[in-house]
Structure 1
Amino acid sequence: MMEQLKVIPFGGLGEIGKNMMLLEYDNTGIVIDCGIMFPREEHVGVDVIIPDFRYLKKNQKKLKAIFITHGHEDHIGGLPYLLKQINVPVYCSKLAKGLITNKLKEHGLKNKVTVNVIGAGDITQVGPFKAEFFSVAHSIPDAGGYIINTPVGNIVHTGDFKIDDNPIMQQFTDLDRLKEVGNEGVRLLLADSTYAEIPGHTQSEKIVEETLHKLISQSKNRIILSTFASLISRIQIAIDAAEKNDRKIFVTGTSMVNNVGMARQLGYLKIKADTIISKKEVNNIKPSKLLIICTGSQGEPNAVLTRMAKGIHQIIDIKKDDTIILSSNPVPGNEMSVASNINKLFRLGANVIYNKMENVHVRGHAAIDELSIVHKAVKPELFAGIHGEMRHLFLHKKLAIKNGVKKDNAFVLENGDILEITKDKSILLKNKIDSDYIFIDGKGIGDIDEEVLIDRNELSKDGVVVCRINYNYKNKELKETNIFSFGVIKDDLIDDFHNKIIDNIENYFNKLNSERFIDIDEDKISDNISLFISKDIRRRPLVLALLVK
């Protein structure tokens, strides 16, 4: 039997989020990352989106381990949902373990899953796979990639990375190790594609440090800084700047409080014992001596900054001349929510600073020049981009070819594809695995689909009209009609609107009663009412006709 390795992406290709990759050889499979994707505007009511695990469930005896590159949500957020179905050991860095443990605790899995800590240079043997963790610079400490020795050759999975000569927490991308493995021979490179369209070199986190120190030292009022709860290095910058300017810090938002506590406990955050204050103290500190660090930089509906912007936060009211710093960029799909919050905060009198105004955020992903450096170091025979929308993957493929990969050896994969690799051949199979979006809504996992979301979108556009029609078949008599409408027309016009609909229904039934054979169908009645409303007010609400016989 020819030795074959299967490379199967479950998420992260053709999209930003829910990164997950399966490597399968014979009867052994390992997964790299298991993330979530944040819902876009059309995903009405959805909390998060996770990968489709059906293939793994069917082949669960093959799955032996999960390897995590770093602790961002789009790489670890889906873990609890997978581990509830298939309990296998997890391998990750110390910080990632802390973040994962918080998630497992939330899902009642804390003492039910084995999470093993690995560091740069550590090698883990799982069946035919030898996975070596190597360090990369990213927007979170302890990030890494994997050099995986397989029976068909070495595979390099970069994880999310950039090349930063001045990283805040002294974590560099290990180009020396990549050059070594490149000289040994690399069969396949799987590399971060997020900014494969951006020329040049990604800016250093040092620029953000300089900007935040400047803004915090210059402000004479209260400062509220919102960023990702997992951006530990950014939080450390804010802590350093606050302490330098004799400011106390109030941390708020569940994930922010949990992550700051965990990072302090593990030694990733250095902070004086009296710098952090409680919510009881927050209103007793002079505004000029207070920095609030909170969640909500992505405009999430229930996050702290969003509640502040709406004026419904239980402790903090936005005051005139507050300085609010959004130290992040909107994740694709969140642009409108973030802009809405910014507008509300300006309206409340705050001075809002975001990345278009100052360097309060830099990307955590490699631009073209950095990608080329890695390609030249690794010198892969085969290439496939990961972590990117479709344009990013195609542009990264072109860059790989430019850097020496043969045209037929560079692939653009999609979620569910199966790339089969031997020592001397590679083929993209025609068959695919299931790779649907699995929507998480409240406690429901996968109990809504695209059709449900279409209905939700329709409801959100023009509202809903419910018509309860009481009809006596024996006497061919329309007894009573009740109309209920929501989100269609304002209250002082609603009675006239309902009466028009009732008149239309009566006309419809009068016409039916004049016919020899009466065919009364709820769908046809709904269509008739929809047509009438469309002609009357040029709107198309969802219409439900309920016939009471």
Structure 2
Amino acid sequence: MANRPTQIQRTPNALPARDDGIVFTSLCGSNPKDIGGNCLLVDLYGTKSDGTSEHARILIDNGKYGFNANADIRYRKGNGKSVEGEVEGAFVDIRPWLVDPKTGVTPSGEPKIDAILITHAHQDHLPGPAYLAKMMQVEHQDLVIPPIYSSSYTAEQMKELSVFKRLPEELRDAVTPVVVKPGSAIPDLGESISVKMQPVNHTPGARRVLMSTPAGSWLHTADTKSDPTQPFREPGATMSFGGIPDLKVISADSTSAGKTGPQPSETDIGRTLSRIIKDNGDKTVVVGVLGTNMGRVATVVRAALSEGRTPVLDGSSLRTNAKSVENAGWSWEETCGIERRDIPDRRRVQALLDDGSLKLSDLVVITTGSFAQPNTGLDLIASGRHPFVTAGADVVVVNSQGKIPNVVESVTAMESKIAAAGALMINPEKSVKLGYGPLHRSGHYGEEELKAAAGDMDPDVREQVTFVPVHGGPDLIAKNVEAAHVAGFKNILDLPVNGVEITMDRDGVRESGEPHLPNMFVAVQTSQDWRYPRWDFVPLKAVPSLAESLTPVDPEPEASLALGR
């Protein structure tokens, strides 16, 4: 078992099983070398009106770690089966906490997970349950997947995952999220235990999680920011920490806490894009986005229309996600002034270019690949494989997304290829240098936003609340700690590595017990044909690059997987 660094002081586990309170563990996400793989295990203890104790266990997110792993591997499993293919990413293995229907208990003997909450539709939070179900199918396992809860848009995105679509019907049903209305409580967790998913600004349908027991409340921010101009923003979406009854802990998730000063809004970014489009009136303009960032897509559509250009949704994921937004209840016409079906896709634009109805300089091509993912639009342009955009002097390529730590090298290489081909390559840094203005704002809060959210709190409450940063390596955690100091928090307990328990009860908030680390599995794409994907699954040790970047996650932890609950 890997141990936590000795310089971090721990206190003994002081939470008897029947005491009211919350025990919180970040299983993955607080990674020393990278971000991603967000997965939180939370135990809630309460006391019913008749004096008997009750317990609920929830999992918050089960995301992918290793966005751009792109490692080809060969591995022989314990059963002798040889696995060859491309790594898609690593996930926390939650099977030890799922009930075996034959025995009625979990394989580990631990309490079962009662509910899985997916806060939003980004890959580092969303897809684990679908890959889990596929692994159970491949390995002929029968375990009970607990109910999964999310917003409508997040549920739509789960159903659009390639791996989800290739599950048998009964497993698709098992991992299809139950849609909960903003602010509604998760059902059947207990009389004295409450868990609510509240709307925040991030992606469409993003949620934070408010957990309450008789010992107090714990708010997990998930990914959040403060931007009232964001398209597809839900009514009531807030980052404010004010007015939460009996609040004792805030676990805060931000990779941008170190950003100081006011952050640009989507309206500001829209003005920047309009200036770039207007200033390059005789050129093809391509704007790279994250495929799930539909708010940014809407901003680009508005900017294109404002300059008399035709916006193009270039790529199947953008078309799918745009439809998911519509299915979740938002209107493209009300938001952007154009119906979704009237925004042409790659195939339709190709036909219009061929018959002369449009020319390339009429277009703003919205495409994917801001993180340099393989076979996305920006990657196709960089490698000269895009069907109708060829990088050259008559093309402007805009990457509207800032770089996160684990993709800096690959994004820089991609942008350099595009520039070397003669295109004007504009990223957020260059946009400011050229005088166009801000081109990117993080989906996570900056220092000023955290200060404003904390400013809504009663000062006495703020001084008593414990602030717990939970996302990223030590450098990002340190920036979040500093931002918390600036925001006026006095009690700050950082989680610099995975597997550390935090206990909140009537005696206070503290680290509790020894660090325990989960198994992780790696999904491997074994098919050579992307149209007919197949997967197999190997242990983390099969992919040393991922295992090393997650250190001190133990690739072969103790078989019991006990987490000291």
Same fold by TM (over 0.5)?
A: yes
Greater gyration radius: 1
Match of 1:73 in 2: 123
1:29–1:306 distance in 2 versus 1, CA, 3 Å: same
| Structure-to-structure mapping, 1:211-250, within 5 angstroms | 211-219=272-280, 220-250=282-312
**Residue 402 of structure 1: how far off its partner (Å):** 6.2
Q: 2:38 aligns with which of 3, 10, 19?
A: 19
Tell me, in whole angstroms, the C-alpha distance in 2 between the residues paired with 1:147 and 1:77.
22
1:435–1:160 distance in 2 versus 1, CA, 3 Å: same
Give the residue type in structure 2 aligned to 1:101: K
Match of 1:420 in 2: 503
1:414–1:172 distance in 2 versus 1, CA, 3 Å: farther
Matching of residue 97 in structure 1 with residue 159 in structure 2: no
Match of 2:61 in 1: 33
Tell me, in whole angstroms, the C-alpha distance in 2 between the residues paired with 1:452 and 1:156.
35
1:361–1:59 distance in 2 versus 1, CA, 3 Å: farther
Q: Deviations over 1:34-74 (max 9, x none)?
A: 21123467967532222243553536762111122222221
Q: Which moved more, 1:62-71 or 1:85-94?
A: 85-94
Tell me, in whole angstroms, the C-alpha distance in 2 between the residues paired with 1:454 and 1:195.
25
Matching of residue 364 in structure 1 with residue 446 in structure 2: no
Matching of residue 289 in structure 1 with residue 396 in structure 2: no
| Structure-to-structure mapping, 1:455-470, within 5 angstroms | none
Match of 2:249 in 1: 188
Matching of residue 341 in structure 1 with residue 414 in structure 2: yes
1:238–1:193 distance in 2 versus 1, CA, 3 Å: closer
1:113–1:40 distance in 2 versus 1, CA, 3 Å: closer
Aligned-residue CA RMSD (Å): 3.1
| Structure-to-structure mapping, 1:513-532, within 5 angstroms | none
| Structure-to-structure mapping, 1:280-429, within 5 angstroms | 280-282=348-350, 283-284=353-354, 285-358=358-431, 359-378=438-457, 379=462, 381-400=465-484, 405-407=489-491, 410-412=493-495, 414-429=497-512
Q: Secondary structure at the match of 1:190?
A: strand
Q: Deviations over 1:393-438 (max 9, x none)?
A: 234345545656554x634353111223322233423423223554
Q: Secondary structure at the match of 2:371?
A: coil
Contact 2:284–2:396 (CA<8 Å) still a contact in 1?
yes
Contact 2:35–2:471 (CA<8 Å) still a contact in 1?
yes
**Residue 76 of structure 1: how far off its partner (Å):** 0.7
Matching of residue 3 in structure 1 with residue 20 in structure 2: yes
Structure with the greater relative contact order (CA < 8 A, sep ≥ 6): 1 or 2? 2
Tell me, in whole angstroms, the C-alpha distance in 2 between the residues paired with 1:372 and 1:324.
35
Match of 1:50 in 2: 91
TM-score, normalization by structure 2: 0.72
Contact 1:328–1:355 (CA<8 Å) still a contact in 2?
yes
Tell me, in whole angstroms, the C-alpha distance in 1 between the residues paired with 2:226 and 2:299.
19
Match of 2:261 in 1: 200
1:450–1:419 distance in 2 versus 1, CA, 3 Å: same
Contact 1:55–1:433 (CA<8 Å) still a contact in 2?
no
1:195–1:172 distance in 2 versus 1, CA, 3 Å: farther
Tell me, in whole angstroms, the C-alpha distance in 1 between the residues paired with 2:172 and 2:248.
37
Q: Secondary structure at the match of 2:242?
A: helix
Contact 1:189–1:384 (CA<8 Å) still a contact in 2?
yes
Give the residue type in structure 2 aligned to 1:213: S
Contact 1:225–1:324 (CA<8 Å) still a contact in 2?
yes
Q: Secondary structure at the match of 2:439?
A: coil
**Residue 83 of structure 1: how far off its partner (Å):** 4.7
Match of 1:468 in 2: none
Q: Secondary structure at the match of 1:292?
A: strand
Match of 1:133 in 2: 197
Contact 1:17–1:37 (CA<8 Å) still a contact in 2?
yes
Give the residue type in structure 2 aligned to 1:100: M
Tell me, in whole angstroms, the C-alpha distance in 1 between the residues paired with 2:66 and 2:332.
27
Tell me, in whole angstroms, the C-alpha distance in 2 between the residues paired with 1:278 and 1:427.
54
Q: Deviations over 1:462-518 (max 9, x none)?
A: xxxxxxxxxxxxxxxxxxxxxxxxxxxxxxxxxxxxxxxxxxxxxxxxxxxxxxxxx
Tell me, in whole angstroms, the C-alpha distance in 2 between the residues paired with 1:268 and 1:414.
42
Matching of residue 251 in structure 1 with residue 313 in structure 2: yes
Give the residue type in structure 1 aligned to 2:422: G
Match of 1:442 in 2: 525
1:4–1:87 distance in 2 versus 1, CA, 3 Å: same
Tell me, in whole angstroms, the C-alpha distance in 1 between the residues paired with 2:514 and 2:116.
24
Tell me, in whole angstroms, the C-alpha distance in 2 between the residues paired with 1:356 and 1:404.
31
Tell me, in whole angstroms, the C-alpha distance in 1 between the residues paired with 2:239 and 2:253.
18
Tell me, in whole angstroms, the C-alpha distance in 1 between the residues paired with 2:222 and 2:259.
18
Contact 1:415–1:435 (CA<8 Å) still a contact in 2?
no
Tell me, in whole angstroms, the C-alpha distance in 1 between the residues paired with 2:125 and 2:219.
17
Tell me, in whole angstroms, the C-alpha distance in 2 between the residues paired with 1:241 and 1:70.
26
Contact 2:201–2:239 (CA<8 Å) still a contact in 1?
no
**Residue 245 of structure 1: how far off its partner (Å):** 3.4
Tell me, in whole angstroms, the C-alpha distance in 2 between the residues paired with 1:403 and 1:339.
34
Contact 2:502–2:510 (CA<8 Å) still a contact in 1?
yes
Matching of residue 160 in structure 1 with residue 239 in structure 2: no
Q: Secondary structure at the match of 1:224?
A: strand
Q: Secondary structure at the match of 2:24?
A: strand
1:60–1:214 distance in 2 versus 1, CA, 3 Å: farther
Tell me, in whole angstroms, the C-alpha distance in 1 between the residues paired with 2:415 and 2:545.
29
**Residue 351 of structure 1: how far off its partner (Å):** 1.6
TM-score, normalization by structure 1: 0.74
1:42–1:435 distance in 2 versus 1, CA, 3 Å: farther
Match of 1:274 in 2: 342
Contact 1:145–1:157 (CA<8 Å) still a contact in 2?
yes
Give the residue type in structure 2 aligned to 1:106: K
Contact 1:89–1:116 (CA<8 Å) still a contact in 2?
yes
Q: Deviations over 1:169-224 (max 9, x none)?
A: 4558755973111xx22121111232232223322222111111222233322222
Give the residue type in structure 1 aligned to 2:275: K
Structure 1: runs of 5 or more not aligned:
458-549
Tell me, in whole angstroms, the C-alpha distance in 1 between the residues paired with 2:183 and 2:466.
24
1:175–1:19 distance in 2 versus 1, CA, 3 Å: same
1:349–1:456 distance in 2 versus 1, CA, 3 Å: farther
**Residue 274 of structure 1: how far off its partner (Å):** 3.3
Match of 2:13 in 1: none
Contact 1:394–1:412 (CA<8 Å) still a contact in 2?
no
Q: Deviations over 1:100-136 (max 9, x none)?
A: 2212633424334342222333222342332222222
**Residue 294 of structure 1: how far off its partner (Å):** 1.6
Percent of paired sites with the same residue: 23
